[in-house]
Structure 1
Amino acid sequence: MESGTFYVCRNITNRSGTRTQIHLRDEGKDRGGSRRLVLMTVCLGIICVVLLVFIILQHISNTAERESLFKSNKNTVEEFNQTINRSQDENTNQMTEKDQLKNNFNSLSQKNLELETRVNDLTAEKKQLQGRVDSLNQKKVELESKVTSLSDELKLKGCKEGQRKLELENELRNISEQGNGRFFISDEEKSWSDSRQYCRDRGGDLVIIDTEVKQRSISSFIKASVWIGLSDIENEGNMKWVDNSTMKQGFFFPNEPNDAHGNEDCVEMQYCTYCSPSDLNVWNDRQCSDLKKALCEK
């Protein structure tokens, strides 16, 4: 622009008026172009400002969106982490429950095995008991058959047995009726020898019991242990009565006589408080020096 202006001025100084008019016209054109240039510059500046504002606003908007997206992503990540933690907790709980169920299953399996073993044992025991029941039923049938057979035999022997029972009752009655005159008991306790002498001094001797009826009769009225006329003083193990007859039937306690300590040679008849009336086995061998009352018989 300066070189152009210089060129116009030179023409003004060197040329005629026509040249001057051209110069003025050109100068007017130059001024109009300068205005347009300024206007264009302003427009460009405004456009730049608008673009800058737009870019700033866009940047702000993008930043806000990024922050919002970041927050959203952060929340999503936190939720995801919480979900993962919950899943891990649930998985841990499920594993714990699984272990418990496994232990329970093992325990139930062990109990089931024990129950099966018990059932097998009970089944075997049931078979054994059933076998015993069958055996007992068989024995029952056999016993019922024997009872029937014995009943038939008893019917045949009824008359004979009844007669024998009547005879024994009569014998016992006779002994009992004569008891007050035939038997007597000493008041004092003495040795076996002294007791025998006591009986002899009164016209009798120690009692001889050689039948079941007599044993039953005497055991019914004695109230204390007494000496009877039986001993093995002369020959150990060979029991004899005071009339020198050998004992044929005895009524000793079980496992008696036992000659305890090697000096039990005389026999007593005990008064048994715990025995039943039908229990006749109440004899026992004792030391002859023991003191007891004498059961005498005339």
Structure 2
Amino acid sequence: YSKTYYQRCLIICDSVHVQWWKRPSGVAAVCLGLLCVLLLAGIIGLSVQYSNVSKNSSAAIDQLQTSYNTITKERDQLQTSYNNLTKERDQLQTSYNNMTKERDLLQTERDVLSGRLSNLKKTCPEGWQKLESSWYFLSTETKTWEKSRQDCLERGADLVIIKSDKEKVSE
């Protein structure tokens, strides 16, 4: 070999060996290699993340389902309580209405009786005397106890049992 050939070979080998990164194919190969490494790291990271998220999601879904079931039961219990309270309210309203009617009826009866009492106080039936809050009929006839009692019952009264000195005096 000649010296020139040897020098050329050194120059070619030297330029190939030292300048591989300056060539477009060398730069592209390095970039593709780096991209592959980054892509592989990303896929591994996403896989780990997906696995964790999947586990957490399952637990979260179970918790949500449990919460939903609990809330549904509570809602049903509240609905039952509401229905019961509505029934009780309706029963109380019916009782109130009945009591109001009874009160009105009793007030009417009271007014009627009060009017009758007023009339009785104003007019004293013949032969009757008033002593405090009681009325007494003084009979001049002599009868047996049984006949006297029957006469009193027919008048809407009963035989008196004298309990006080005032009753004795009014005889």
Which bin holds the TM-score, normalised by the shorter protein? 0.5 to 0.7
Q: What is the CA-CA distance between 1:52 and the residue it aligns to?
A: 6.8
Q: Which residue of 1 aligns with 2:46?
A: 76
- How many residues align? The count is 142
Instruction: Give the residue type in structure 2 aligned to 1:111.
Output: S
Alpha-carbon distance in structure 2 between the residues aligned to 1:52 and 1:100 = 69
Structure with bigger helix share is: 2
Q: Which residue of 2 aligns with 1:153?
A: 123
Q: What is the CA-CA distance between 1:138 and the residue it aligns to?
A: 1.0
Q: Which residue of 1 aligns with 2:74?
A: 104
Q: Which residue of 2 aligns with 1:43?
A: 11
Alpha-carbon distance in structure 2 between the residues aligned to 1:48 and 1:130 = 115
Alignment of 1:170-249 (within 5 A): none
Distance 1:159 1:105, change over 3 A: closer
Q: Name the SS of the counterpart of 1:49 in structure 2.
A: helix
Distance 1:145 1:38, change over 3 A: same
Question: Rg bigger for which structure?
Answer: 1
Distance 1:103 1:66, change over 3 A: same
- Comparing 139-148 with 87-96, which one deviates more in the overlay? 87-96
- Comparing 143-152 with 39-48, which one deviates more in the overlay? 39-48
Which stretches in structure 1 are left out of the alignment for 5+ residues? Answer: 1-30, 168-209, 212-246, 251-276, 279-298
Alpha-carbon distance in structure 2 between the residues aligned to 1:135 and 1:159 = 30
Q: Which residue of 2 aligns with 1:119?
A: 89
Q: Which residue of 2 aligns with 1:129?
A: 99
Q: What is the CA-CA distance between 1:83 and the residue it aligns to?
A: 3.0
Q: Which residue of 1 aligns with 2:169?
A: none
Following TM superposition, the consecutive aligned residue runs of length 4 or more in structure 1 with deviations greater than 4 angstroms are 51-65, 159-165, 247-250
Q: Name the SS of the counterpart of 2:95 in structure 1.
A: helix
Structure with bigger strand share is: 1
1:90 aligns with 2:70: no
Distance 1:159 1:127, change over 3 A: closer
| Two-structure CA RMSD over aligned residues (Å) | 4.1
Instruction: Give the residue type in structure 2 aligned to 1:49.
Output: H
Cα deviation code 1:46-85 (max 9, x no counterpart): 2343467989998788656544542343223322332343
1:140 aligns with 2:129: no
Q: Which residue of 2 aligns with 1:24?
A: none
Q: What is the CA-CA distance between 1:130 and the residue it aligns to?
A: 1.2
Alpha-carbon distance in structure 2 between the residues aligned to 1:42 and 1:159 = 158
Distance 1:149 1:63, change over 3 A: same
Distance 1:48 1:163, change over 3 A: closer
Q: What is the CA-CA distance between 1:88 and the residue it aligns to?
A: 3.4
Alpha-carbon distance in structure 2 between the residues aligned to 1:115 and 1:86 = 43
Instruction: Give the residue type in structure 2 aligned to 1:150.
Output: L
TM-score, structure 1 as length reference = 0.37
TM-score, structure 2 as length reference = 0.60
* Sequence identity percentage: 9
